[in-house]
């Protein structure tokens, strides 16, 4: 079945460092891909998404590009802030969106001043 | 404000004592779902509902029940809780059952069963 694999955390970075969180997926067809973020004590929030190959999703300085050839959707940010400390989840849905989202296990990011 | 509201936020209970976690959304969403989040396991879906009176099992439905009698509410029922149901629970909703619309999540319910 469909699955998502994320790099294991925790990831600790200094403020203004470059962030990459790797995400690869296994799916039939061309799924839609998502990044969700969970701030401490809160529920998940949709951060960005991409629905077809070569699409780039972006929000709040974060970006991820849908790479069909490498089945990847890596999350990047050029300069992280302390307020970016959270758990990040990569997720996918089937091409028609007819099945529930499949989530990765999450990657905890800590940014220190 | 558009939101998914879960109650309670924290709950400690004893083994075997029935409990209900409520979930309500004010966005007229068709689709609602329950997840549990456990360290090292990520999010796992318990049950979901594509519309009123339509519910389906997710990946880990054992020990849980749900109902969808009205569009806005989707309570999670634990008839006889056990310690292995200690977890962080999230309710989510979406405009459509088509997951590529994205989900709106509640703030979570941390359940401890002793």
Mean pLDDT by 10 residues, chain A (113 residues): 88 97 91 93 92 94 96 97 96 75 92 96
pLDDT tens digits along B9-39 = 999 999 999 999 999 999 999 999 999 999 8
Q: Which residues of A75-85 are buried (b: 16+ CB within 10 A; e: fewer)?
A: bebeebeeebb
- Tokens at A91, concatenated: 């997720």
- Tokens at A33, concatenated: 């891909």
Q: How many beta-carbon contacts under 8 Å exist across A and B? A: 59
CB A44 within 8 A of CB B4: no
pLDDT at residue B100, rounded to an integer: 67
pLDDT at residue B63, rounded to an integer: 97
CB B13 within 8 A of CB B111: yes
CB B31 within 8 A of CB B40: no
pLDDT tens digits along B35-86 = 999 988 889 999 999 899 999 999 999 999 999 999 999 999 999 999 999 9
Do residue A44 and residue B98 have CB atoms under 8 angstroms apart? no
A3 contacts chain B (CB < 8 A) = no
* Side-by-side strand order, sheet with B65-66: B4-7, B19-25, B76-78, B65-66
B96 contacts chain A (CB < 8 A) = yes
Q: Tokens 């050839």 label which residue? A: A69
A89 contacts chain B (CB < 8 A) = yes
């Amino acid at each position: 079945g469909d699955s998502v694999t994320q790099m294991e955390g925790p990831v600790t970075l200094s403020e203004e460092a470059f962030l990459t969180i790797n995400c690869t997926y296994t799916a039939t067809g061309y799924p839609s891909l998502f990044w969700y973020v969970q701030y401490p004590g809160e529920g998940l929030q949709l951060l960005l998404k991409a629905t077809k190959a070569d699409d780039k999703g972006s929000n709040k300085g974060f970006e991820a590009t849908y790479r069909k050839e490498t089945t990847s959707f890596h999350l990047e940010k050029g300069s992280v802030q302390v307020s970016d400390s959270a758990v990040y989840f990569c997720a996918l849905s089937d091409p028609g969106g007819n099945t529930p989202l499949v989530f990765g296990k999450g990657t905890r990011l800590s940014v220190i001043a | 404000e558009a939101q998914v509201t879960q109650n309670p936020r924290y709950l400690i209970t004893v083994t075997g004592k029935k409990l209900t976690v409520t979930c309500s959304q004010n966005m007229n969403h068709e689709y609602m779902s329950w997840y549990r989040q456990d360290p090292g396991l990520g999010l796992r879906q318990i049950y979901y509902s594509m519309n009123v009176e339509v519910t389906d099992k997710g990946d880990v439905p054992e020990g849980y029940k749900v109902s969808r009698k009205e569009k806005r509410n989707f309570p999670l029922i634990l008839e006889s809780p056990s310690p292995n149901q200690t977890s962080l629970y999230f309710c989510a909703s979406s405009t459509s059952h088509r997951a590529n619309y994205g989900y709106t999540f509640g703030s979570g319910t941390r359940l401890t069963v002793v």
